[in-house]
Chain A
Amino acid sequence: MKISYYPGCTLKNNAKNFEDSTLCAMKQLGVEVEELSRWNCCGTVYSLATDDLMHHLAPIRNLIRVKEAGSDSVMTLCAMCYNTLKRADERIKNDPESLERINEFMYLEKTEYKGDVKVLHLLELLRDEVTFEKIAEKVKNPLKNLKVANYYGCFLVRPRGIGLPGEDVENPTIMEKFMSLLGADAVDFPYKTECCGAYQTVDKPEIVAERTNQILTSAQKQGAEVVVVSCPLCAFNLDRRQEETVQLYPEFKNMPVLYFTQLLALALGCGEEALGFDLNYIDPKPVLKEKGLI
């Protein structure tokens, strides 16, 4: 099996461990991942204004690149890229006038876009194409006794119709199922789809610290030892912003936050280089060592 892959900007630096762990895991699962030979930033957020077609150009250009790679679907890892690409596609697919204007504007492109590329998130691909059963068979290092809280945040699940197909917008469970399959104890917690503060982190980090305190404390109350995410912005806010969180909320206790693919790669037997724990702010190694996983 082969799949086109759109990484997005942050996976090439701060979230390199998200990419590396995914690539190693996919290799173990026999999926050939082919990064687009050319791509640009998707814009990170979907433009909500009715008249703002301009900001849909960036995501649509990437979908053109997918077609040029000879593919009709593309895999994303970052929840924000997933949301932005998928919504831009939906928007112009359902609005022939916008589609025409966008194509006219991009007259220098050799390929015309027709709303004919399917945007997939890695989790969806693992569930529907690779299948969870097959992944379970390949687990070499089951994550025994590790209590994992699964944080979805916003863009993996909302809005309705764009979030992961087949998942309840208020109570998604795909990540819990996934972690159980890897041998971990999946912990449910009430803040799993509550916003981390997103881009407020740039000029109002105190907002993010408040959320991080609430979200992680709630996960800890349910017994979680680590939290997994699927978005580099959630990861930054919940992991790196623990520094500010402790300063503002002295009773707050640090906890490791990982990409779900780091645990997947670990369970499939990938080496340290692919796991990239050095990029995690709160070191996950002590708890993983304690469980005999590394």
Chain B
Amino acid sequence: MRVNISRRRIKDPFVKKVEELSGQNLLACYQCGKCSAGCPAVSQMDILPNQIIRLAQLGLKEELLESKAIWVCASCMTCNTRCPKGINIAEVIEAVRLILLRKSKDHLIVKELSAEERAQVPPIALISSMRKFTS
């Protein structure tokens, strides 16, 4: 992947927004990769949890907002409990999702689910996926 980094992007309000919403200091991450090593979802991800943090540090907004990985994360908290720098990676990913969701860009379109699919899953599944994937 070819990336262009610039001071302008690092100073993009997007970076500040992610830090604010997640309550995390992105620059604390030194890219050890431990979060990605333990993440159960990596096989389905296009970019890994440590790369999500890196892209956020550098203000590479489009790459993050268009990634599939942010929707594959299940907020399982494994990365959070293992990060040697105490960064809550799941919170950072939630912040990126929220930046999209708050523009009313729902990821899960409930009415596209068939009546059968809706009836099959228990309330706990439907409610949690709506909480995570809709605004």
Please report A residues at the B interface, Cβ cutoff 8 Å.
8-10, 13-15, 41, 43-45, 47-52, 55, 78, 80, 154, 158-160, 169-170, 193-195, 197-204, 207, 210-211, 232-233, 236, 240
Contacts and interface: CB of A to CB of B under 8 A. Distances in A.
B131 A44 contact: yes
Q: Give the 5 A-B residue pairs with the shortest CB-CB distance, closest first.
A: A195-B76, A14-B122, A199-B129, A158-B77, A199-B128
Contacts of B126: 202
Interface stretch (B5-13, B28-36, B48-56, B91-99): B91-99
B1 interface: no
Contact of B128 (A15, A45, A52, A211): A45
B16 interface: no
Given A45-B132, A55-B131, A158-B78, A199 B21 contact: no
20 contacts: A9-B124, A14-B122, A44-B131, A45-B75, A47-B131, A48-B90, A49-B21, A50-B23, A158-B77, A158-B78, A159-B80, A159-B81, A194-B78, A195-B74, A199-B131, A202-B113, A202-B125, A207-B41, A233-B122, A233-B128
B20 interface: yes
Nearest to B94: A48
B67 interface: no
A199 B43 contact: no
Contacts of B75: 45, 48, 198
Contacts of B131: 43-45, 47, 55, 199
Interface of B: 20-23, 40-41, 43-44, 72, 74-78, 80-81, 88, 90-91, 94-95, 98, 108, 113, 117, 120-129, 131-133
A107 B90 CA distance: 32
Contacts of A49: 21-22, 91, 94-95, 98
Nearest to A158: B77
Contacts of A199: 74, 125, 128-129, 131-133
Contacts of B98: 49, 52
Nearest to A10: B124
A158 B124 contact: no
Nearest to B44: A207
Given A50-B21, A194-B40, A207-B72, A201 B81 contact: no
A49 B133 CA distance: 14
Contacts of B21: 49-51
A202 B129 contact: yes
A11 B98 CA distance: 29
B20 A50 contact: yes
A221 B75 CA distance: 27
Given A154-B76, A194-B40, A195-B76, A232 B124 contact: yes
A194 B20 CA distance: 29
Contacts of A159: 77, 80-81
Contacts of B124: 8-10, 14, 44, 78, 80, 232-233, 236
Contacts of A51: 20-21
A203 B21 CA distance: 26
A279 B103 CA distance: 40
Given A158-B80, A198-B75, A202-B129, A10 B108 contact: no
Contacts of B41: 195, 207
A59 to B, nearest CB: 12
Given A10-B122, A198-B75, A203-B129, A48 B91 contact: yes
A201 B125 contact: yes
A160 B81 contact: yes
Contacts of A9: 123-124, 127
